[in-house]
């Protein structure tokens, strides 16, 4: 994908089933579980309030066998989006895109569910 942010269009709908995602701030202590088998750069993390979810391993620094410190703020909330919906892509992490809807709601969508919207540039000549 090109430089972010950019506009993207949803190719296939994505429905989230995560109602209470893991959230943390830079410097927070986290408990670390196993690595995801499909998304191998994601690890199972539990935040200080007991919420758990998948986190890109580049967002944490391991401090022990099952402990880590957050390197940045993170919210694992996913977006439920419909085919054809247009979003602002803000960031990409390991096969997922952090996007914002037209209503200003931000969340993650699998990168293979969206495509860049190509805008016409100035004519060559």
Residue ranges per structural domain of the chain: 6-16+77-116, 23-75
Grade residue 82 by pLDDT with cuts at 50, 70 and 90: very high
**Could you read off the pLDDT of 42-74 as tens digits, one per residue?**
999 999 899 999 999 999 999 999 999 999 999
pTM above 0.85, yes or no: no
Q: What is the pLDDT of residue 39?
A: 81
CATH class of 6-16+77-116: mainly beta
Q: Give 1's pLDDT tier (boundaries 50, 70, 90).
A: very low
For residue range 17-31, what is the model confidence (pLDDT) as tens digits?
888 899 999 999 999
What was the pLDDT predicted at 22? 92
Tokens of 85: 């919906």
């Amino acid at each position: 994908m090109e430089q972010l942010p950019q506009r993207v269009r949803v190719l296939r709908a994505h429905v989230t089933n995560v109602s209470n995602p893991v959230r943390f701030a830079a410097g927070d202590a986290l408990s670390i579980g196993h690595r995801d088998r499909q998304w191998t750069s994601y690890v199972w993390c539990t935040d200080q309030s007991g919420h758990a979810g998948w986190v890109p391993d580049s967002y944490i620094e391991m401090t022990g066998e099952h402990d880590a410190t957050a390197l940045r703020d993170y919210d694992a909330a996913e977006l439920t989006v419909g085919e054809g919906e247009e979003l602002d892509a803000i960031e990409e992490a390991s096969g997922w895109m952090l996007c914002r809807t037209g209503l200003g709601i931000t969340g993650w969508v699998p990168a293979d569910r969206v495509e860049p919207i190509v805008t016409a540039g100035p004519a060559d000549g």
